[in-house]
Amino acid sequence: MNLSPLDIRKHEFKKAFRGFDPDEVMAFLDIASMEYENLVLQNTMLSEKLAMTENHLKKYREIENTLQEALMSAERVREDTIKNAKNQADLIVREAEVKAASIVEEGRSSLAHLRNTFTELKIHKDTYLAKLKTIINTQLELFKQYSFSEEKAFEKAEPVFEDKKSLHRTTTLKTVEDVSVNESDVDEYPGTDEKKVRS
């Protein structure tokens, strides 16, 4: 049976001989009804607060669930981001290593090509210098032959001519001195005034 403060106030007791004082009973019932009313009000207020608290708690739990889901999602996103960043970093490092190896290999190839080219150029240079040296030496030899052959010829010819001149002079003088020419041995060239000596 649910009692309200009004039920307590209006409740009537049966009268009996030598019973309780009605005024005291009524006063007590008034006090009891007032206390009960206070209790009911407090209970109502507490129930409302409890309902509000439960609503807030429900909202907080929803927020907590949302936050937990967001945190878990953020954690998954963070892990995925870290994983993707690591994969991308590894990919970048591998690409950089491949590119660096390619650059190094290209540099080595270029260096080898330059060395080969330098060697070929050195061979060409040495060959050209050897040929040029041979040509220059040949030209020098020819120059020496053609430059001094005339002088040598003159040097060789001068004594011969000097000997022939002195021999001719000696022979001529000796012939003039030793040989007497007779008038009968001298004939005139016809048509000229020149005379020749008969041998």
How many percent of the chain have pLDDT more than 90? 27
What average pLDDT does this structure show over 106-115? 91
How confident is the prediction for the chain on average, in pLDDT?
A: 77
Residue type, 87: N
CB 8 within 8 A of CB 32: yes
Model confidence at 47: pLDDT above 70: yes
Q: Which residue has the tokens 């007791």?
A: 13
**Domains of the chain, residue spans:** 5-127
What average pLDDT does this structure show over 111-118? 91
Local confidence band at 195 (pLDDT 50, 70, 90 cut-offs): very low
For residue 189, give every residue at least 6 positions away whose Cβ sits within 8 Å of its Cβ, in sequence order, or none.
195, 196
* 63-101 pLDDT tens trace: 888 888 888 888 899 899 999 999 999 999 999 999 999
- 34-43, 88-97, 124-133, 168-177: segment of lowest average pLDDT: 168-177
pLDDT value at position 22?
A: 75
Query: How many whole angstroms separate alpha carbon 147 and alpha carbon 140?
Result: 10
* 176-191 pLDDT tens trace: 455 444 444 444 444 4
What's the start-to-end Cα distance of the chain, in Å? 204
Model confidence at 139: pLDDT above 50: yes
Model confidence at 168: pLDDT above 70: no
DSSP state of 184: T
